[in-house]
Structure formats: C-alpha cells, structure tokens
Amino acid sequence: MKYLSFILVLMLAGFTSFAQNCASKHAVFRVPEGVTPKVLDRLGTSPEFPPLQNRNSVKEIFHNLKAMGESKTYKDAINSLFVALGYDGVLDPRFTIEDVTPGKVPFGAIGMLGDAAHHYEYTIMVLPGEQIIKSWHIRSRNGCDLNFMSRCGNAFYMTSACPASNPANIKVVARYRHEGCNCDDDRNDNEDTGNGYPFHSVMKTDTKVLADEAADRASGTQTIYIDVDRATFRKLNNE
C-alpha cells in the first residue's frame, strides 16, 4: 500500500466509542478536544522509559518491559499503562512476547506522546526522512493498543487511527521551500541577469497534502504546515 494512502486510511478509520472507552483508563488515552497537535521533529530529548530506548528486537523489549514491572523506578508508571491495556499489570502472565510486534507509526502520525515526567501531550510526529518511525506495538486485551517509540522509549497512543477522538478539523501539509527561477512563468521578464537570460532567482514553495481530517467538514479547518528538506519532500511526493 502506498505511504500516503496508508496515512489517509489511518486518519479516516476508527470508531468514537473505542476512543471514549480508552480515555477513561489512563491519561495517555485522554485526547484534548479541538486542539491542534504540537509539531515534533525529534525524539529522545525526554525519555519516558529509558530501558526501552534503541532496542533491536522484540525479545529485548519484552524482557525489559517485564523487568520494569519489578523496578522501583518504573513499576508504578508501567503497571498503570498495562492495567489500562486490560492486563493486571505488565507482569500479568497473559501478556506474552506474542503481544509485542514492530510498530508501524508513519510520518505525520498524530497522537498522545509521553515524556520523562509521564505527562502526555497531543502531538504530530514529523521526523525528517522517516516514512516509518521505529516503534514497538503492544497488543491490548481491550482494544486500547499502545506503541513505545524506539528512540525515546515513550508511550504513544496513535489517535490518527481514530480521528473521531479529536473533533478538530486538521489538515497536514508538507512544505518545501527552495530557491528557483521564474523560468516557468508565462510572463516575460526583461531583467538582465548578466548571463544573457531574461530570468532571475526567486524563492519557491512546493506543498503536498499529507492528511485531511476536515475533508468532509464545512469550516474551521486548522492547517499544520510541516517544513521538510528536499529529500523528504521527494520521498513523500513519490508515494
């Protein structure tokens, strides 16, 4: 499936009742209403669960999750998350290694992201050059699935899989600003560039809509512009 189509499917799929049921269980599921997400282009500055940072295998993640359930530093926070997922905590024997899989968090994913203080903020993740942001997906027992981001170990509830959980009308646009010329303009520019050509340098802006949660809504759309480099824009444009 094409990358852009994948994002749009995530944005348009999901059910309101799921979001409401999850919201009552933990702060990570409590999505603020009508709020524009914070744009985040870097991970790792405020790690929530350092034992989950930069791990390379499901086995490592599963082992470290279980170990945190007995850690004085992490057990309260990690157990509260797993109770919200329908387990009796992370040490619940029903939580097995089969419940951990590599995540599929795409560029432009919107959701609630944790930090070192276990505070959760409504965020859109736009890491330059990363079409899929490495994460670990945790399968819940109640439909409230969760991801842990690899680079920071932070919990992430991807609300873009359930847009009805946030009624804000959001349009996400990738923007690439670069130097160009007026070569494609129909008008005749008589300015002499010194090279014998009637053209001069101008700043141009190319855009691509990544997602539009407001496609079927009448008004009040909030447009989020994400500035990207040339390589990222070309990847997005080729999908």
Q: Please report which helix (H) or strand (E) contains residue 172, including its range.
A: strand 169-181
If you average pLDDT over every residue of the chain, what do you get? Answer: 79
Q: Are 150 and 140 in contact (CB under 8 A)?
A: no
Distance CA 154, CA 43 (A): 9
Range scoring the smallest mean pLDDT among 23-32, 76-85, 187-196, 226-235:
187-196
**How much of the chain, in percent, has pLDDT values that exceed 90?**
42
Q: What is the mean pLDDT of residues 57-66?
A: 98
**pLDDT at position 147:** 96
Residues 197 and 154 in one domain: no
* Strongest mean pLDDT among 59-68, 162-171, 207-216: 59-68
Q: What is the mean pLDDT of residues 228-237?
A: 79
The model's pTM is 0.68
When comparing pLDDT for 194 and 44, which is higher? 44
Residues 183 and 161 in one domain: no
Model confidence pLDDT, tens digit, residues 182-219:
665 555 545 545 555 556 677 788 888 776 654 444 45
Length of the chain: 239
Q: Are 179 and 60 in contact (CB under 8 A)?
A: no
Q: Which of 131, 165, 199 is the last residue of a domain?
A: 165
Residues 175 and 157 in one domain: no
Q: In DSSP terms, which residues pair with 158 in a beta bridge?
A: 111
Contacts of 15 (CB under 8 A, 6+ apart): 162, 164
Model confidence pLDDT, tens digit, residues 102-133:
998 887 788 999 999 999 999 988 887 787 89
Contacts of 96 (CB under 8 A, 6+ apart): 62
What's the burial of 196, exposed, middle or buried (CB within 10 Å: 0-12/13-18/19+)? exposed
Distance CA 48, CA 209 (A): 32
pLDDT band at 177 (very low <50, low <70, confident <90, very high): confident
What's the burial of 70, exposed, middle or buried (CB within 10 Å: 0-12/13-18/19+)? exposed
Range scoring the smallest mean pLDDT among 36-45, 97-106, 157-166:
157-166
**pLDDT at position 224:** 74
Q: Are 233 and 208 in contact (CB under 8 A)?
A: yes
Residues 59 and 152 in one domain: yes
Residues 52 and 103 in one domain: yes
Q: Are 170 and 216 in contact (CB under 8 A)?
A: no
**How much of the chain, in percent, has pLDDT values that exceed 70?**
73
Residues 147 and 234 in one domain: no
Q: What is the mean pLDDT of residues 151-177?
A: 73
Q: Which of 148, 165, 182 is the last residue of a domain?
A: 165
Residues 22 and 128 in one domain: yes
- Give me the number of domains the chain comprises: 2
Residues 116 and 217 in one domain: no
Residues 135 and 220 in one domain: no
Is the pLDDT at 1 greater than 70? The verdict is: no
Distance CA 113, CA 44 (A): 12
Q: What is the mean pLDDT of residues 177-183?
A: 73
Q: In DSSP terms, which residues pair with 131 in a beta bridge?
A: none
Residue type, 4: L
Residues 136 and 51 in one domain: yes
Of 90, 64, 81, which is closest to residue 156 (Cα–Cα)? 81
Residue 228: domain span: 169-238
Residues 203 and 161 in one domain: no
**What token pair was written down for 174?**
């990738």
Q: Are 46 and 152 in contact (CB under 8 A)?
A: yes
